[in-house]
Copies of this chain bind each other. A is one copy, B any other.
Amino acid sequence: MSDAYYLRLTDHLRELLSGPEAFEEGRLPAERTLAERFRTTRVTLRQALAQLEGEGLIHRSNRRGWFVSPARLDYDPTRDAGFNDYVRAQGRRPRTEVLHTDTRPHRPAAEALGLPVDCSFHHIRRRRFVDDRAVLAESLWVVPARAPDLLQGDFAANSLWGELRSRWGLTLAHRSLRLYSEALAEREAAELGVAPGTAGLSVRRAIFDAQRRPVEYDEEHWLHDALCITVELENKA
C-alpha cells in the first residue's frame, strides 16, 4: 500500500476485483457512483481506474462503462493454428467479421516482403472477437501470384493459412516477426470500440514459402490486455 490516495484506492479496488463477489455481471458501477462511495473526485478515481487498466484487470468500452477484463488469451504468433482453433481450445468463443477486401498496392507490405512498392496485394481487413469482445483488428496482404482467387473464399470461417495450404499447396517456411506496444490509432480504436490512444500491441509478420518466395504480410492490432504471447522453441542458436 502506498501513500498517494489514488494508489490506495487502486489497491482497494484490486481487492474487490479479486474477491469472491467482484462486481455483478463483470461491470463496474459508474465513475460518479464510485467517486462518491470513496469520497473523492472523478479525476482521482479515474487515475486509479487507469492504473488498473494498465495492469489489464479492467477495460472500458467507449462511453459505455468499465468492465472486468477476462483472462488473457494465450497466443503463439509463430504457429499457424487458426484463430478460431486456439480460442476454442482455451474454452472461449471466437468470432470474426470481415470489414473490407480489395486488391491494391500497399507500401509497407511490399517493403516487408522485398517486392516493388507498386505491386498489388489481395487485402483482407477483419475484426476478431473473443466472447463477444472485439480484441483484434488486422489486415492481411497476400501476394496474388501465390493465391490467385483468394478473395472468393470465406475468410471468416476458415483459417487463411489452412486455405493457403490446401488450395494452393503452399508451405510457410520462413517468417519474420516484429512486435511492439503502441497506442491504437483512431481507425483501430473505432473498430474495437475503444477510445483512441488506448494501449495496444502490434504484431507484424512477413511470411515466405519453402522456395523463399514472398507469400503474405500481415499487421495485427490487439488490445494490450487481451493477450499473452507464448512461444515454445526447440534447439535454436
User: Distance (Å) between the CB of A52 and the closest chain B CB?
Assistant: 8
Which chain B residue shows the least CB distance to A229?
Answer: B179
Partner of A229, one of B79, B174, B180, B183: B180
* This chain: copies in complex: 2
Chain B nearest Cβ from A76, distance in angstroms: 9
Query: Which residue of chain B is the closest to A235 with respect to CB atoms?
Result: B173
Nearest CB of chain B from residue A4's CB, rounded to whole Å: 9
Cβ 8 A contact of A177, one of B55, B183, B224, B229: B229
CA distance A199 to B228 in the complex (A): 15
Total interface residues on A, CB under 8 Å, equals: 39
Is B199 within 8 A of A181, CB to CB? yes
Are the C-beta atoms of A176 and B230 separated by less than 8 Å?
A: yes
Cβ–Cβ contact A78 & B181, under 8 A = no
Interface mask (A199-237 → B, CB under 8 Å = 1, otherwise 0): 101000000000000000000000011011111111111
Q: Does A85 touch B at the CB level, under 8 Å? A: no
A193 within 8 A of B: no
Residue of B nearest to A10 (CB): B197
Q: Is A166 an interface residue (CB 8 A)?
A: no
What would 29 A/B residue contacts be, using CB atoms closer than 8 Å? A2-B196, A54-B182, A55-B182, A55-B183, A56-B180, A56-B183, A72-B180, A78-B231, A78-B233, A78-B236, A80-B237, A173-B234, A174-B235, A175-B232, A175-B233, A176-B232, A177-B230, A177-B233, A178-B228, A178-B230, A179-B228, A179-B229, A179-B230, A179-B231, A180-B227, A180-B229, A181-B201, A181-B224, A181-B225
